[in-house]
Amino acid sequence: MKLIDLNEQYSRLKSRIDRRVQAVLSDGQYIMGPEVSEFEGKFSQYIGVNHVVGCANGTDALQLALMAIGVKPGDAVFVPSFTFVASAEVIALLGATPVFVDVLYDSYSIDPESLSTAISKVRKVKKLQPKAVVAVDLFGIPADYDRLNEICVHNQLVLIEDAAQGIGGSYHDRKLGSVADIAATSFFPSKPLGCYGDGGAVLTDKKEYAEIIRSLSLHGKNKEKYDNIRVGVNSRLDTLQAAILLEKLTIFDQELKIKEHISERYRAELSDDYVMPLIPQYSRSAWAICTLRCSNRNSAISKLKKNNIASAIYYPKCLHQQDAFRYNSLIPVDLSQSETASREVFSIPMHPYLSESDISLVISVLNSV
Ligand SMILES: *Cc1c(COP(=O)(O)O)cnc(C)c1O
């Protein structure tokens, strides 16, 4: 049993996806073909955000968001330590300083208290200027955007949402991808909405940001080609990937409902040894990944393995513990919840093509550990 089964999904959509792909191949507009803007339009409507700019992957999407707000050396950008490396990597790549912040015990998202503490600590460091916050919808679970927006407005920081795992989730009446100043997402195959290769998008309500991001993604071009007004990158969503995403978007809500049903069964039937994540009130998780915590995860993982059930650890090491970020001990923030999470979490199968008996098997194997 796989964690996420992409083959089953393809079998279901095969004729429609094949037709779409064939149309792109025959048409020949492999770069910026009509499917790209068709997808950007449909996706912006689905999320409820004014502008979507497709790009090459989720990491580029984050980088483009940070470039658009002018992140530069000397800037401090706050980011949780318990997340995928891309969330912090792009900050360092632009020469700015990632300042690691702790996460909440039960929802794994950035802890607003820890963020406030980190901001006041950075304010005391002369050579650093607080600039932005990257909040991550880890595993699909929304961060506390009301409080984060409040903290960001108060401190004049830009709020960036790393929604790579959040598409499909929601916070109050807004879909994830539309709850911060700028959001970045990924269409990596195993993400909630995935293509068949790399892909990503930047989302924002602000026209000024969208225009800069579009320009940056196309080598910093002005209205005309070969008129470059800023130093940009080459990061586009492939026409083939956009064509595939258009078909997948049509069944996306239905798939999400099934994942919610699976999560309810896990929550109701797994024993108390396993802690399911807390989905904050008035929120919906995208159920990108189903992560449990358990004081003895190794036994659980090996029992699953014996029964041919896949599992994984997202993530076994916090970012402040990675060699790549060792230099970053400048700002001492308590990161103990991140460290505990990295020792206790493991993830179990979660995808819309699990049968009721698959779900029962996962539950009984885990409960027998
Ligand atoms: C996958 C992921 C990214 C990066 O997306 P890519 O498309 O792989 O570049 C960034 N942040 C988080 C939280 C992710 O899960």
**What is the rounded distance in angstroms from the CA atom of residue 212 to the CA atom of residue 230?**
9
- The answer for residues whose C-beta is within 8 angstroms of residue 54's C-beta and 6 or more apart is 36, 39, 40, 199, 200, 201, 236, 237, 242
* CA 365 – ligand 1 centroid, Å: 31
Q: What is the reported pLDDT for 329?
A: 62
**Ligand 1 atom with the shortest distance to the CA of 165:** 15
Q: Give the Å distance between the CA of 59 and the centre of ligand 1.
A: 6
The separation between CA 136 and the C-alpha centre of its own chain, rounded to angstroms, equals 6
**Residue nearest atom 7 of ligand 1, based on CA coordinates:** 58
Q: How many angstroms separate the alpha carbon of residue 185 from the centre of ligand 1?
A: 7
Angle, alpha carbons 101-68-323 (nearest 5°): 40
Ligand 1: which atom is nearest the Cα of residue 187? 7
Distant-in-sequence, close-in-space partners of 244: CB < 8 Å, separation ≥ 6? 17, 20, 21, 195, 196
For position 284, what pLDDT does the model report? Answer: 97
In this prediction, residue 331 carries a pLDDT of 79
| Residue among 85, 249, 266, 103 at smallest CA distance from 167 | 249
Tokens of 142: 């929304």
Atom of ligand 1 nearest to the CA of 59: 9
- 283-284 sheet: strands from edge to edge: 174-175, 170-171, 283-284
For residue 196, the SS3 value is: coil
Judge whether 142 and 87 are in contact, CB under 8 Å: no
One-letter identity of residue 285: S
- Coil, strand or helix: which one is 277? coil
- The residues that bridge with 169 in the sheet, in sequence order, are 167
d(C-alpha 301, C-alpha 294), whole Å: 11
Q: Measured in angstroms, how far is the CA atom of residue 58 from the centroid of ligand 1?
A: 5
> Of all residues in the chain, what percent carry a pLDDT higher than 70?
99
Quick one: which atom of ligand 1 is closest to the CA of 288?
15
Residue 15 Cα, ligand 1 centroid: separation in angstroms? 29
Question: Of 62, 83, 84, 287, which is best to mutate to test ligand 1, by the most ligand atoms within 8 angstroms of its C-beta?
Answer: 84
Question: How much distance in Å is there from the Cα of 318 to the middle of ligand 1?
Answer: 15
CB 19 within 8 A of CB 242: no
For the chain, counts of helices (H) and of strands (E): 12, 12
The pLDDT tens digits for 151-165 are: 999 999 999 999 999
Tens digit of each residue's pLDDT (9 = 90 or more) over 312-351: 999 999 999 999 998 666 678 999 999 999 999 999 999 9
- pLDDT score of 169: 98
pLDDT at 263: 98
Give distance in angstroms: CA of 32 to centre of ligand 1: 22
Residues with CB under 6 A from ligand 1: 57-59, 83-84, 86-87, 136, 162, 164-165, 186, 188, 198, 200
Picking from 49, 37, 57, the residue whose alpha carbon sits closest to that of residue 201 is 57
For residue 8, give every residue at least 6 positions away whose Cβ sits within 8 Å of its Cβ, in sequence order, or none: 351, 353
* Residue 332: predicted pLDDT: 84
The radius of gyration of the chain's CA atoms, rounded to the nearest angstrom, is 21
Distance of CA 332 to the CA centre of its chain: 26
pLDDT tens for the chain, 369 residues: list them.
999 999 999 999 999 999 999 999 999 999 999 999 999 999 999 999 999 999 999 999 999 999 999 999 999 999 999 999 999 999 999 999 999 999 999 999 999 999 999 999 999 998 999 999 999 999 999 999 999 999 999 999 999 999 999 999 999 999 999 999 999 999 999 999 999 999 999 999 999 999 999 999 999 999 888 999 999 999 999 999 999 999 999 999 999 999 999 999 999 999 999 999 999 999 999 999 999 999 999 999 999 999 999 999 999 999 999 999 986 666 789 999 999 999 999 999 999 999 999 999 999 999 999
Closest atom of ligand 1 to CA, residue 60: 9
Check if the beta carbon of residue 320 is closer than 8 Å to that of residue 114: no
Angle, vertex CA 287, rays to CA 284 and CA 290, nearest 5 = 130
